[in-house]
Amino acid sequence: MTTVYPYKFRPIFKHRLWGGQRLREVFGKDLPPDDTIGESWELADLPRDKSVIVNGPLAGSTLAEALEQFGEEITGDEYYEGPFRLLIKLLDAQDILSVQVHPDVETCKRIGRGEPKTECWYIIAAEPGACIYKGIRKGTTRRQFAAAIADGTVAGLLDKVYVEPGQCHYLPAGTAHSIGAGLLIAEIQTPSDTTYRAFDWNRVEADGRARPLHIDQALESIHFDISAADLPVTTVGRLVDCPYFKVDKGHQIGTAEVLLSPGGMEVLMFLSGSGRMVSQEAEPVVFAAGDTLLVPAIYEGVIRFSQDSEYLRVRL
Residue 197 annotated in active site: yes
Exposed / middle / buried, residue 91 (Cβ in 10 Å: 0-12, 13-18, 19+):
buried
Question: Which of these is catalytic: 85, 197, 203, 238?
Answer: 197
Output the CA–CA distances (angstroms, integers) from residue 279 to 120, 125, 274, 300, 303, in the order listed. 32, 33, 17, 6, 9
- Using DSSP bridges, classify how beta strands 301-305 and 309-315 pair: parallel, antiparallel or unpaired: unpaired
User: In whole angstroms, what is the distance from residue 43 CA to residue 52 CA?
Assistant: 9
Angle at Cα 262 formed by Cα 257 and Cα 264, nearest 5°?
Answer: 105
**Active site amino acids:** 197
